Structure 1
Amino acid sequence: MSNHEKINYVEYPAHDLAATKTFFQQVFGWTFEDFGPDYIAFKNDILEGGFFRSELRASTDHGSALLVFYSEALEATQAKIQDAGGSIIKPIFSFPGGRRFHFMEPSGNEFAVWAQLID
């Protein structure tokens, strides 16, 4: 499959690069590469991106796009997020076809996790 005109990189602000890096390593197993004191790049199985040092944060309340993770065990993923220092900002709720919750990582960026409903 061609990567031509496909999304292949995403960037987020982060005021605490070290805490953000540790969080995503612990919860999702991301690997990171440091590019100086103000930028870290990440890789996972699907998407690559980075975090740049900034006091800004990505939040749907401010019109930001929302990256959504998939989980086969929603409650277990939620517990991992909380154990790693993330905070749940929208508890688990149902929607047609699934359930999800929103969380904030240590630098204040909002993400979500969803799980498909199993009959």
Structure 2
Amino acid sequence: MDIIDNHINYVEFKAKNLEKIKKFYTTSFDWVFTDYGATYIAFSESGLQGGFEKTENEIVNGALVVLYHKNLDLIKNKINESGGKISKDIFSFPGGRRFHFIDPAGNELAVWSDN
């Protein structure tokens, strides 16, 4: 599958117990998981790739929709100019970089790049 700018590319959920959630989705839906340390697992074979981030906080809205854009600085500026607010500035992770933003309705999303 080609990675295309401005398309939803990934969805990220929160979970308190990664082993329990991994077992649930593997058993129920045959998802395949890759461990990235003690606080993150990625899944595939679900129709859309995604992951679970370990949290100790109460989970209110556990889904984070992640879009792709090859130029994070460009899309970050567009988001700011369009009335969005950056909630977590650009940071690196294994495989790329990303940032989070709040849309005008108050939804938090993220944009990532492998560049």
TM-score bucket of the superposed structures, by smaller chain: 0.3 to 0.5
When the two structures are superposed, what TM-score results if normalisation uses the length of structure 2? 0.47
When the two structures are superposed, what TM-score results if normalisation uses the length of structure 1? 0.45
